[in-house]
Structure 1
Amino acid sequence: MTLALDWSDTSSIGYPTLFLGVLIGSIVPVVPTGALVGAAAAVAMTTPHLSLPLVLLVATLGAMLGDTATFAVARLGSTAAVRWLARGQRPERLVSVRERFTRRGWQLVVIGRLVPAGRIPVLLAAGAVEYPWRRLVPATLAACVLWAVAYALLGVLSGGIFDSPVVATLLAAVLVLLVTVVLNLVARWRRGRTKVDS
């Protein structure tokens, strides 16, 4: 038995690449994690090299570990996280954030994971207000499962349209980028409406 990776076997490269890419991208948002999941799902739909259930499992685990690491940094260094969160804010703002997490922390964690650029601020805020681990872990697990399924569906869709793994992967990446752009535009529009109403 050898410990070396078999570089000719796509699955021996694909799963670790997916896991590490999602893990790193969940901590430092430089890797397009949604595109990775969509591409892996597209490959799973068009080749026998990857399994869709395993793609979902690996993506969920990578996202979960990354999100809990991000939360842990804020939770363990909560004084610095509170200072970061409160910069330029009135003191009552932090009280408001704490109350929101008390009332609907589960929803905030799930929505933060699904909305582009929402995850890290939500996790940092949760850590800063010392949101309990016993509530964060199940909320994060649910959020990561929903996130992995949503982006994998884009890959499944592209894999169902095209038999070529290359074309399906490219289409999955394009679909993920389009969904991200649309979600960002909707979030910006809602923020604009909130300012107008207030």
Structure 2
Amino acid sequence: MSVLAVAAEESTVGYSVLFGGVLLGSIIPVVPTGAVVGAAAAYATTTGSLSLPLVLALATVAALIGDLVTFAVCRFGGPAAVRWVARGQHADRIAEVREQFRVHGWQIIVIGRLLPAGRIPVLVAAGALAYPWRRLLPASTLAALLWAIAYALLGVVSGGIFDSPLVATLIATLLILVISGVLNLVSTRRRRTATAAGPAPEPVPEPAERCEPA
């Protein structure tokens, strides 16, 4: 097998893993999607087998599709679907995001995508409130692009420091997992503090009412 054929096969596998991993993790949160993007960016930086712009494009499209699917499930799937998507989420967090939609609208979608553990509460609240598609699509596109750039940058930094593709990929993955874990821990502690100081949380919203945010 020629070198070009090997490189082409390697690229095909790499892009497929990137797109499939981000898409799956954006629908069913069992894959650390940020780590997948960071690892792909690190590999692209150190080997040249993958194109960094294409890594960004595929990650953005996969994340966008995953978010739109999750939103559609919450909006049209009924109460059971909302509860399934919101499993493991804090009801007070979802109720808080639901209220923020009335004031901030699309900004919440962008911020929720960038924050660890922020995406699901935002999409659940958006689906339950029947957030308009014409507002959701551009906001989600921007959010997915910024998210892909942020995690790819961590991979690029790792790839710039370490010459070995394996080491750069592992370091990028570990770095993203550690950062995500720390931010999750901080967010969890803040929610616990707010819950202890405030009223009892509301139940997870049912997809019954509609809203037209500003």
TM-score normalised to the size of structure 2? 0.79
Identity fraction in percent = 61
Relative distance call for 1:89 and 1:21 in structure 2 (3 A) is closer
Residue of structure 1 equivalent to 2:202: none
Unaligned runs of 5+ in 2: 199-214
Relative distance call for 1:20 and 1:48 in structure 2 (3 A) is same
Q: Distance in 2 between matches of 1:89 and 1:24?
A: 24
Give the 3-state SS of the residue equivalent to 1:38 in structure 2. Answer: helix
Q: Distance in 1 between matches of 2:173 and 2:141?
A: 24
Alignment of 1:20-31 (within 5 A): 20-31=20-31
Shift of residue 172, structure 1, vs aligned partner: 0.3
Give the 3-state SS of the residue equivalent to 2:105 in structure 1. Answer: helix
Q: Distance in 2 between matches of 1:97 and 1:36?
A: 27
Residue of structure 1 equivalent to 2:187: 187
Relative distance call for 1:109 and 1:144 in structure 2 (3 A) is same
Residue of structure 2 equivalent to 1:16: 16
Unaligned runs of 5+ in 1: 1-5
CA RMSD of aligned residues (A): 2.4
Q: Distance in 1 between matches of 2:19 and 2:28?
A: 14
Shift of residue 82, structure 1, vs aligned partner: 6.2
Q: Provide the aligned length of Structure 1 versus Structure 2.
A: 188
Residues 7, 49 of structure 2: 8 Å contact kept? no
TM-score normalised to the size of structure 1? 0.85
Residues 97, 121 of structure 2: 8 Å contact kept? no
Residues 109, 140 of structure 2: 8 Å contact kept? yes
Q: Distance in 2 between matches of 1:182 and 1:197?
A: 23
Alignment of 1:1-198 (within 5 A): 9=8, 10-80=10-80, 98-198=98-198
Give the 3-state SS of the residue equivalent to 1:49 in structure 2. Answer: coil
Q: Distance in 2 between matches of 1:181 and 1:159?
A: 22
Shift of residue 129, structure 1, vs aligned partner: 1.0
Residues 82, 129 of structure 1: 8 Å contact kept? no
Worse-superposed segment, 14-23 or 188-197: 188-197
Q: Distance in 1 between matches of 2:17 and 2:188?
A: 32
Q: Distance in 1 between matches of 2:82 and 2:103?
A: 19
Post-superposition CA distance 1:6-39 (Å, at most 9, x none): 6653211111211111001100000111111000
Worse-superposed segment, 135-144 or 103-112: 103-112
Shift of residue 136, structure 1, vs aligned partner: 0.9
